[in-house]
Amino acid sequence: MSHKIPLLRSCERCRRRKQRCDGDQPACGRCQGHGAECRYRESGRFRKQRATTNTTPPPPSCASMMFQVLTPPPSAETAAMLDPVEILKTRELPDLAQGLPESVLQQMWKLVSSTPGDPTKNSAMANTQLEPNLELLRTPPTGGAHYPPCGEGSSNKETMVACAAVDRVSQTHGLGIGGNVLLGLLRASFVDSGMKIRTRQFWATLEADSAGDFAVLAHLAIATREAQLLGPTGISNTALTDTDDEGGRLLVAAEARCFAAARREWDAGCVAASTGAVFALLLLSEYGYQTGRHAILGEFAAAALATARQVPLRGTTRFPWSLSTAAGGCERGCDVEREHVLACFWSAWVRAFTAAQILQQPIDLDRGSLPDFPQHDMCHYTAAPTAVAGGAPGMVAFPARTACCHAPRHAYSAATWQCALRGAEMHNLAMAVRRGATPAAAYAHALRRWDRRLAAWRAAAWPPEWPQQMAALARKAQRLGHGDIDAEWLADIDAESSHPIAEEEVAGERSPPCRVVGAHVFDASRVSPADAWLAVVFVMYDMTRLSAHRAGRDLIPSGVDPLTRDLGRLRSRAESLDAVRSLQSTLGAVARLGFPPERLGMWVVLVLEQAVAELSERLARSLQQQADSLVAHDALRRLARLVRHLLALKHWTPALVVFTAVVKRFVKPSCVMAPPTEDPQQPPLSIQSPWPPAHVLTRLMRELHIDARTFCAFTMPVVYASAMATSPGMRMRIASLIT
């Protein structure tokens, strides 16, 4: 353990916060936790070299050796070699507070990504659905209004202003890349698909030179990271995932500099409260989750929520922006500016709630301190904000109000945020039970009442057009293929869309008649923005149910009557599996229509984590109980469908951790599946696997249609981080096994 360094000899960050360094080299632990550069060695107060700790970067040869462990050549001698995930058999997954090693991530991306137009480079990935169709992010929706790509339809003057602003930020903060190239990365990464008002706001402020350095740096941190995955840009003629390429090295360095510079801007208090600043803070929290640094996620999510409470409406009205101060109401037209401020606040609140779920912390649920929900998605998300040069950084104005043609109840985003608000109630109760402040039996009773309230709210608040719209999407996806569509789920959706809501189900809560929102044109490769938001609503609803019941199953007290305990667990398990079935089918339906899961936002990884964990438990339980093989094979097929969506998010560090947890769970030699009773003759395997043909992981590889080399490459960064987190003696033992 490192000794504490006195305050006068601490690094710059620790001295500024009046905290003592722990003296680790090359960076102290506190600086590492915040992703900042440690100035301890450069401060002139460094006296002696301390012992090398686990934070020392390993030599480059370790990565290649680890890859040899992960991908043994298929041969008859494979069984005698070291298992590809032998390290994970005896160790828990590491604490990835610093994220995964970037060099290993780059190697993994290179191994599992094929170059466009060269299907022979990685034939195992050529015919799978693992790669997201990123071109769809740049395609405007079919039907209704068409929105040009952000920044593409700008005038020459606006383009020159935006390029000059980005170039000034690059020179000021030493990013090392020219403004033209960075502007191209921003255009490729932040594209408006018809409902991304925050993207249009960023481009409006950037082209008016009123975005501010902080917002530009936050967007560049995401853009430079995504550019390393998306492939060639104007920097070089080779793929940027190759760390030996000069362009790739420039992007890796620029990503770190963008984030560090954005943090310095925020720590220095140079950021004024505005909707643009809130969205930039949300991007930084998303960056923290994308890189696996959950402390950064929580820090910037809390900062975004605190900043959102300080945003003024038209320069005078403050939180909670009551309707009485915003002149007029829905009768005179839609107040788009107020809708924008409300949407900004609730986006920050949901991000703070997501961080609380990940970090296992409670969240403030004082209903008196929460504002109204937005009511007009179509008026707000299709608006065209404008910014004035020299105005307040990050603030935009909207056109004057016009007659609103959209029913208030068709607020897709408000429905998702209400789902999250109702889920936060059970989350806080679960946190209280884990702290010992509330008995576990209280959670079980509250969960039953909460289920009834949630169902009644859905029956009363959701318009009847939503099930009809989802049923149409599901039927369209079913015609394209049956692989990801659950027949029982489709029947439920059809039944819900064709039968009127019973009066007793609503429990006296009736809503005014609804009007249809726009025209929904279904295409084989696209979905409209309204359909995309509808998928978010259904996914959030099922995610809320799944989280509450998974917690309820774990919190059922052991001291109650055994029959009551077993019935409670069976009920929660049934509700969880039903939610997983619905999640799987919703994601499968929209994916077949060309809607990649990553467009649902950063919390889709959390959704998939919960669903994958539930199906993994079901598969492990069926293997342990030696139940009917059909049950195990059904669980495996459902698990493979969700893992396929998960691996499409491979540039999110938590997705790799979730996948590695699945591999760790079933890596034991005893995880062998019997052939199905209805089809004892299994087709011959088309892949070579280091595990037996009947092993769970071998069958999972066959369901995913990927080979052992690619399969193990997805676990490579987490295994590598786990090995580097071990003691030096254990690392020497691993090295001896490798050699």
Helix segments in 462-602, DSSP class H: 465-480, 487-498, 503-506, 529-555, 562-592
Q: For residue 368, give every residue at least 6 positions away whose Cβ sits within 8 Å of its Cβ, in sequence order, or none.
A: none
Residue 105 has pLDDT above 60, yes or no: yes
Q: What confidence tens digit (pLDDT) does each residue in 490-530 have?
A: 666 666 665 443 333 333 333 333 222 332 233 334 567 77
* CB atoms closer than 10 angstroms to residue 665: 17
pLDDT band at 346; cut points 50, 70, 90? very high
Q: How far apart are CA 538 and CA 542, in angstroms?
A: 6
Q: How far apart are CA 238 and CA 246, in angstroms?
A: 9
Lowest mean pLDDT among 11-20, 504-513, 562-571, 657-666: 504-513
Residue 208 has pLDDT above 90, yes or no: no
pLDDT reported for residue 727: 57
Mean confidence (pLDDT) of the chain: 72
Residue of 6 and 55 predicted with greater confidence: 6
Domain ranges of the chain: 82-116+128-132+621-739, 134-406, 407-595
pLDDT band at 695; cut points 50, 70, 90? confident
Q: Can you give the pTM of this predicted structure?
A: 0.77
Residue of 683 and 556 predicted with greater confidence: 556
Percent of residues, the chain, with pLDDT higher than 90: 18
Instruction: Note if the bond before 26 is cis, omega within 30 degrees.
Output: yes
* Residues 356 and 428: beta-carbon distance below 8 Å: no
pLDDT reported for residue 236: 44
* Residues 650 and 109: beta-carbon distance below 8 Å: yes
pLDDT reported for residue 276: 92
Six token digits for residue 430: 């679960």
Going from the C-alpha of 417 to that of each of 2, 370, 393, 507, the distances in angstroms are 45, 12, 27, 22
Mean pLDDT of 119-142: 34
